[in-house]
Structure 1
Amino acid sequence: MLQNVRLTIRTKILIGYFLVICCLGAATIVVSERISSLQNEIETIASRDIEIQNLITTIRYNAISMETSQRGFIITGDEAYLDPYIKGKKEWEANYNILYPYLSDNPAAKKILEEIKLIIENWIATAGEPTIALRKDNNTQEIIDFFYEDKAKQDIDLLRIQFENIRQTEIESTQNHLMQLENRNNNLIIGLYTMLLLVSVAAFMIVSFVSGTIVKTIKQVVKSITDIASPGGDLSTRINVTARDEIKELADATNALLDNVNNQNWIQTKVAEVATMNQGINDMKTLAESFLSKLAPILNAIYGVFYIRQGAGEQQRIVKIGSYAASGEEEGIASFRLGEGLVGQAAVENRTFLLNTAPDHPIIIKSGLAQVTPQSILVVPIEFEGKAVAVVEFASAESFTSQHLKLLELIENHFGVAVNNVAGRMEVERLLSESQVLTEELQAQTEELQAQSEELQMQQEEMRMTTEHLEEQNLFAEQKTKELEKAKAELESYSEQLKQSSQYKSNFLANMSHELRTPLNCILILSQILSENENQTLTPEEEGYAAVIHSSGNDLLALIDDILDLSKIEAGKVILTMDEVNVSEIPEHMKLGFSPIAEKKGLSFQISVADDVPAVLYTDGQRLQQVMKNLLSNAFKFTETGSVTLCIQNADTESIKKYVPSCLNDTVLAISVTDTGIGIPKNKQQLIFEAFQQVDGETTRQYGGTGLGLSICNEFTRLLGGRIVLKSEVQQGSTFTLYVPSRPNMEKEQLAVEHHEAAAAAQDIVPAPDWMEPTISQANEFEVSLFKGKRVLLVEDDSRNVFALVKALESKQFIVTVANNGKHCLDILQQQTGFDLVLMDIMMPVMDGFEAMRAIRQDTAMLETPIIALTSKAMKNDRDKCLEAGASDYISKPLNMEQLFSLMRVWLTKQVGH
């Protein structure tokens, strides 16, 4: 049964990969189990050691608190000083009972702990309680005598010594456990390398076996094809493959190709035979019978009739002049009018007729021994200059094949010329006969008639030659015309495909932006609410988890923006805003952003600015800072120890000539970022500037990232008219130098974008109006009183976003009503009124946000109600579409709730003002 299973090459390779992955999976499970076991032991030792040290410190603190409290009470007589003594007396023994089981495996530490207990109990009995009792009785003299003798000092000093001894003993015990774990870890590493070697050997054997089975079959096919293609090779040979995969399909396709080649050769051979047959024939009947006799055996026909077109005008008829294998009355109809029967219709339409079922055909083909009834009839017109000059009919006891039809199609294209030539020659002969008769009657005009006859013959020959030449020219022109039309059609098709590809790409980016931003919006909103922990229901550790989720979501958002930036650059839709940039502010921005990173990683971050650097640079400040931030981010990412240095200076003339020669007359800044990180090999220094590329796979696994940052830096720098130059040595660090020209004469681009749209697109905070600048506490109370009880209609189809937004809005005391799409929104507005604000999603089923906003604005009661559009596409013209549809404002997903609340505050305040 397995022999009938079709194993494709892909299946074989997948089976090999599956076996290799199984080996790797087994090894991974074993190693993971051992690593998990070691990790658990390390965590157990660490937590136990910390707990023991904390308990020792707590008992020591209890003892010292009792002593300090006792002395304070004795000195002051204030019983408030006895509270630490009473508390310590209650707690030290409980802490001792907790600590004692931890030291059960360390006899030395256990013995010291028991001595500590005895010392504390002795001090309480001999010093603590007696002196407190004396002070309560105001027996000052006995207290003085007690301290004069200093009975308790020896116990306290001994207690300190014993606490230090037990701490040192426990530290030594922990070190011994760590040494044992290190030995076990070394054994694990040795086992890991051994297992890796075994897995590699098994994988090599599996791959060798799978590739061997594939290559063996391919070599067999190649050998067969080589034998067939060699000089003298037999085209009738066929490739035989026993494998049941794609190579078997390749062999079958090759065999089919060979069959087709053989068929073509057969057709060309037969066409040549028919063409040579026409030579030397000057009689139409002889031509017809020769044609039938030659072609009928080739077509396996058992009957044939040849009809010629005769007459002119309405008197034209199709007349039979020859037949094949016919006898008696069964030779067929003698003639047809044009359009009469299949023969007459074939002459009118220049069309071939094929009848494969003719059970009641009157024609019966006779031989000496039997009679045969034809099963297939074929009627073929012979064409000359677009006109059927003859019609041929064949009958066969079996069906005609496509190969037969193809042969007749090729033959009829030139046989019409042969028919016309023979007809012309017969006409010439007829005229010659008539002239001979006239010659006998008119002896006097014999010479003149002979001259006329010769001249007429020459003219006809010239006409024949001219006709043949014109036919050749006509065929050549038609062929060239068809080739030009085909090339034009191909170019138009290719151009249309390019347009569609560009449109598909734009639609894909827009839709993917929406599909990614919609769930990302829910993640960012809910993680922000959790991290703020306003209800204090989360532990600090859980707050940290929420903050990490929120940070990761922002990283994903940055990745989406990077991909959109690359797409805009590629499409040539990036608009540069050329304006004055204060160079002195750049170091402060970079220091503010990256100094915390340097402190966290323990790196030195230095910034130097040359004295002769111009105060103002004319360029796109936003793009310039984006490039610098990407370069500094990479420097800190790939640097573990050492330093990162940012240097800003004027570029020297040689560097300008070499890297930006078009800016020789402009001021050019050289901004370099130098690190002491891992460095970049020479052969990888151009690769890293391509999209989604890093130095190698190991760099990706260790440091993460998508490889988009440097690609975007390179493209933005090119748009700014500059260049990025890299110098790097492996393990020595890298220096990225950014050459940026100052272009004061360039026209400034004015972007028609309001401040709050720019804030929404760049994920910045929307600035409040000048009249909204009270203190922070006053602003919060302003906000609470403004939001409380306001009715908000949320139109959103995604249940995750609905859940997140409702939670966030209700935390600000909004009253929220939810609509699942635009139609549901309109239904709610017909039943309820008095909404203070509408939050409208754009991409929804049934009715989208654009259509819903247009319908809302047609209601005079809703003309002044603020509508804030929410969209996930974030494409360039989304804002204009939203405002045209009736939106009051626009914000892109994922939503920053502070931005959203700021926008809502602005529009609700305007409503209050109205």
Structure 2
Amino acid sequence: MLNRLKIGTKIGAAFALGIGLFAALSVVAYEGMNELIDRSKWQTHTYAVLGELKELSVGVSSAEAGQRGYVITGQGTYLEPFTASRQQIRETLQELRRLTADNQNQQRRLDTLDPLLTERLEMMQSVINVRQQRGLTAAQEQVRTNQGKRMTDNIRAVLGEMEAEEYRLLNDRSKAAEAATRQTFDSITYGVPLYATLLALIGYLLSRHISRPLQEISIVTEEVGNGNLTVSVPPSDRRDEIGTLGSTFNQMITSLRDTTRKNEEQTWLQSNLAEFSNLLQGQRQQETVAQLILSRLAPLVGAQQGVFYLMSVNSESPVLKLLSTYAYRERKHLSNQFQLGEGLVGQCALEKQRILLTDVPGDYIRIQSGLGSAPPLNIVVLPVLFEQQVVAVIEFASLDAFSDQHLLLLDRVSNTLGVVLNSIAANSLTSELLQQSQALTEELQAQQDELHESNRRLEEQTEALRSSEALLKEQQEELQQTNEELQQLNEELEEKADLLTLQKRQVEQKNQEIELARQELEEKAAQLALSSKYKSEFLANMSHELRTPLNSLLILARLLSQNTDGNLTDKQVDYSRTIYSAGTDLLDLINDILDLARIESGMLSIEPEPVDFTELRAYLDRNFREVAQDKHLDFLIHLDSNLPTTLTTDPKRLQQILKNLLANAFKFTEHGGVTLTIAPTSHSSLPTSQIAFAVSDTGIGISADKQQIIFEAFQQADGTTSRKYGGTGLGLSISRELAQLLGGSITLASELEGGSTFTLYLPTQQNPSAVDKIDSAFLLQPSAPAHLPTAALPAPYPLPNDLNDDRDALQPGDRSLLIIEDDVNFVRILAEMARQQGFKVLVALRSSTGLALAQQFNPDAIMLDIRLPDLDGWAVLDRLKHDPATRHIPVHILSIDDAQQRGLQRGAIAYLQKPVSADALDQALVDIKDFLDRQVKTLLIVEDDIVQAQSIRDLIGEGDVETTIVGSGTDTLAALSRNRFDCVVLDLGLPDMSGFDLIEQIKAEAGNASPPIIIYTGKELTRQEETQLRRLAETIIVKDVRSPERLLDETALFLHRVQANLPAPKRQILEELHHTDSVLAHRKVLIVDDDVRNIFALTSLLEGYDMDVVYAENGRDGLSVLQANADVDAVLMDVMMPELDGYETTRAIRQQPQFKSLPIIALTAKAMQGDREKCLEAGASDYITKPVDTEQLLSLLRVWLYR
């Protein structure tokens, strides 16, 4: 019956029954409590009556005492007790009547007592009166009658009876109260367990009918979540929601099976299409394409024979000719070519439709092998079309039926093949036309020579005609003398006129030939421009290729300059630094050449946006203030008061131009200063809506004859071999090209030894039509003195106009927070909240800028996003924690990824998963402030060996760390409940519980607030135990010779101790330890590169970190080496290699199941747009450009090897 009820009905019925039982129990308890209260009230009533009786007795005694005192002394003061007691007795008697109104016996006694008291009081009053009137003797005589005593005894007797009655009632009521108490206690004592038992029974029944079926569905759901689609919920006759859920879930599993099958089919289709697309790229021969298609496509669709016919259009009518075959043996009675409509091949080409034959007769054709032959069951004939024109026909024969998936793949491949075949034909035609063009060029040159000769002859004839005209004038004068001579001359003149007309026609004909020649020359000029573009692209590619040998030079020079082994002299270290400096200069030259080539080849884009002049001034001041101070020069930046608020242009290109101009100004100025003036232009030849950026210096100046050539590439004012100033001569050339792209220009005003002024004119509004849609991957950086930095600091990435940080307002003592996050809206919210908490805010929208700001400003804390556009956040965290200057900075991670344990293990203080609420952000900032306020960090050492614990305390040291030592799991939990600890060092061997259980209990009780736990144990861990600990603890250290150094390093990381503030011996321990890297040490890396210099350089670098290196010089060898070294932990893959390039090698590696998750980092000397996406699409895990930044490479290796 329960199976037919809804879950709500079941729960409602159980709830109603529970409420009913509880109500019944409550009623019983309520009645018992009421009775207890009533009994208690009557007990209190009895005590009140007894009190009044006591007070009445005391009143009588007091009155008698007052009487006796007055009779004896005769003093009036002794009458005061008598007078007071007299009134009190009356009041007490009335209160007793009220209290005993329910007791008739007591009322009768009061009736007896009342006249006795009245009479006794009157008697005492009479004695007093006698004393007053007759004296002491008379009063004593009246007292000696003993009548007063008898009355008093009667009064006391009545009072005694009343007290006895009340004590009897008190005893009865106490017994009744005890009985009521016992009854109430029993009802509660036995009722509550009975009620709990009934509730447990109800809960059991509900669990049996609700929870267990739901658990069965949950188990099936987990199996489905793990990818097992063969399971299903057992069928049931339930009619409630669980039965509906089970049937619905079974329907979902069925639908999911169908969807998975369709996705697998689609994946198979897309992957094969992609393979064919890559396979056909770069092919130049139709025969090769046909053979590749047949050999690769036939096995995929299960075909055993295939033929490829190509459409030939050279003959009078289109003919399909046999071009290639697959497992096919020609037969005499079958033709190797077909016309349209002839046979199935011709009919397929005519209809432009696929033809599929099933149940093929046995004598149609036979598929032969070395063991025998058999007839096919199915034939498919496919047209290959390009723009609805048949270019080829493919036919396949199979022993099995072609599936719909096979037919769909054939149709898709035929579409791609049509484009490839047409492209090959077009390339062939282009080659022929190119040859014809070259022949026409030679012929045109010959015609031009003939035309020059014809023009020369025409000039001679024209001169002769002029002579003839002069002669004619003379003859005309002579003809005036005689008519006959005139007639003769007229005839000669007509002949000359006819000749002139003929010559004019020849000149017009020559002019037409000249026009045709001009048109042909224009075509040749276009071809020349195309050749120039090819030249620029070639120059760009060659500049990239120069990076490959330069990469090894820079890496080896840097390794030598670090002198890690200490076996080089100071002079040898200087030599290596000089090599590194020269290599850096060469890299700058390559970048300049690359920029110029990209500009000339039209591959540089402009991205206009508003530029704030105040921010621009601050940016340039930060970049050149130190240069000016080093050269003892004045540096001024003046903003005109009439400037508009913003300028719309590309901020990166504007910064690049101004940095080039300022760098040149400082370079050629030894005394005086440099001034940048920004103002609206008043130049007469320019529109008023332009801004002038004038860079003036007091340097050497430029002579007038050199002011034009300095804007040409590779030119300087002093071009002699003995020139004083170095440089490539590309800066001004690139700046001029960039200025033109921005719609502006650059002018120069200078005198030799009189300084120079370069003025950049830019329109206030960027014309969108002038912006070329071209690549902007590279930016030219200003030249600077070569040096060997520990880490390259890029120029700060500009912030949007509506997002400002506080870097220019930082003062000593300010508490600063660096936010590394690419979501501008989120940064704006977070920055405002941080300022409300008292932080000065630094903002970086890119990871490279964040690293630069961290090293420049050394902020108090960092909030870091993981998914950043230029460098993964995990790599940023790794760089921060491996740099002694930033290792101590607390980092709080904000990310959409659920990777809290990983973040804490890498040294972060906390982790928040997006989306995050404002309250959570506010609490995170409060926690950061609390952490910064605590100058002394707390460490808990869990070790049952007191000697070991004391040695750990001595190793870590005191001062900025407060250490607490406990020896058991119970004490650990108690200490964590009482105090807050920043880190825990834990030994697994404890006397009262397992270290594994203790960690799980700490995590369960503390949750996200659990402190970092470092496992420091001498126990040999099994793989299963190590895996379990990796999930729970931040670090595992097995005690050995180097374990104390590692423990000091890990505690310094999690306690965020400043390495520079540690005692000298501990700093030395950490510095020696950091020469090796626990993540990188003893890991095996495969380097695949065709340049042995790069292999040598990278091997030297990685072996310095105790890594094992194997290598291969091309892709094919790389695959072989990888098969022979299956324990390789990571691969560094060069992209451009002979035989098999890096893309194909990576794809081949990913096709092997055991290497699906092997980290592969692509290395390339080209940094073109789209290269990163292409590498990741091929299967690379990450990407880095040459020359390799060694710190970035090591960070990437740590990130991927740690996973």
Q: TM-score band (shorter)?
A: 0.3 to 0.5
TM-score of the pair, normalised by structure 1: 0.42
Q: Which has the higher contact order (CA 8 A, sep 6+)?
A: 1
Larger radius of gyration: 2
Structure with higher helix content: 1
